[in-house]
Amino acid sequence: MELRGATVLVTGGSSGIGRAVANTLSAAGAEVAITGRDEKRLMEAAHSLKVLPVRADVSNEADVLRTYEEVLRAFGHLDVLVNNAGKGVFKPLIDMQRAEFDAVLATNMTGAMLMAREAAKHFISRKRGNIVNIGSTASHRGAPNGTAYYSSKAALRSMTECWRAELRQYNIRVFLINPSEVVTGFAAASGFAQKDNPTKLRSEDIGHAVKAVLEMDDRGFTTELTVFATNPKD
């Protein structure tokens, strides 16, 4: 697709991977909207990136509906949804609280479904569109303390395959991007320490991957793309 002049909605776009994706696609000439829950951080990002801010929580259905109202009012139509908003809790199974587990799935799984559902309605009516789900290499494996996060990303991967099977007949491309470890504020927000190292992936690497898959001519698409650091060091 041609990104210049395309309209894009990025969830969780005020920091980390989402902000980098928004920046990369905006630099390529797209009109971009970002969502976020923290209004101060959202407005700072929107001002810096020169994109449209929408304060919203993807796990809140009313917020999701309002997001599309605001974006379509501003842009007239939508070409790309980037489902990036994410939450993490990393604890042993025996210490996992129900509320923590539910909160991770509410954002990473249910929120992604709600956003994709409304995008799909719009895309089906236009007979074209793109949904990019930001997954994780966690979707392919398990790990200690990963009950909530890993299972949510596995669910996202499964939903991606379901949506792809349903929506291809409408010329809608559904992508899954699986980053391995990326140095962002996500680790601190999720309660675990992350060692920084210049050999590890940065958010802009994932922004590049999203741009690359979208730019293929609409006759084809990369169904799933995994991004690893070449030789990461702790």
Residues annotated as part of the active site = 149
Q: To the nearest 10°, report the CA torsion of 35, 133, 59, 186.
A: -70
Closest CA to 37 of 15, 52, 65: 15
State whether the Cα torsion 186-189-190-193 is positive or negative. positive
Chain-centre distance of CA 161, in angstroms?
Answer: 16
Which two structure tokens, joined as six digits, stand for 62?
Answer: 């009313």
Q: Which residue has the tokens 């990002």?
A: 45
List the beta strands (DSSP E) in the chain.
7-10, 31-36, 52-55, 80-83, 129-134, 172-179, 182-183, 201-202, 224-227
The half-sphere exposure of 215 on its side-chain side, counting CA atoms within 13 A, is 13
How many other C-beta atoms are found inside a 10 Å radius of the C-beta of residue 196?
A: 8
The half-sphere exposure of 63 on its side-chain side, counting CA atoms within 13 A, is 14
- Total number of residues shown for the chain: 234
| Spatial distance between the Cα atoms of 183 and 98, rounded to a whole number of angstroms | 28
